Amino acid sequence: MSNPVTEKWTEIKTLIESIDLDIHKNAAGNASAGIRARKGLRLLKAQAAELVKITVELDKQKKLSR
């Protein structure tokens, strides 16, 4: 059985790696990479918010099961 928190965290780490590549390309002058990096950062923000929701929900469930 997989844990939803670790699954989401793995997705976020993968996203960060791809953003990192685009940030470095943009710093070297690639404008298209800058567009991809900004899009990725917006997606990262949404994914982080989703991770927070998952962890809060799991914590609530644990409290109720006590």
At residue 34 the predicted structure's pLDDT band, cuts being 50, 70 and 90, is very high
Instruction: Tally the C-alpha atoms within 13 A of residue 31's C-alpha that lie toward its C-beta.
Output: 0
Q: Residues 22, 23, 27, 31: is their CA dihedral positive or negative?
A: positive
> What is the extent of the structural domain holding 38?
4-65
| Whether pLDDT at 5 is above 70 | yes
Mean model confidence pLDDT for the chain: 96
| Whether pLDDT at 1 is above 70 | no
Dist CA 43 CA 22 (whole Å): 14
Average pLDDT over residues 2-22: 96
Q: How many domains does the chain have?
A: 1
Average pLDDT over residues 47-53: 98
* pTM metric for this prediction: 0.86
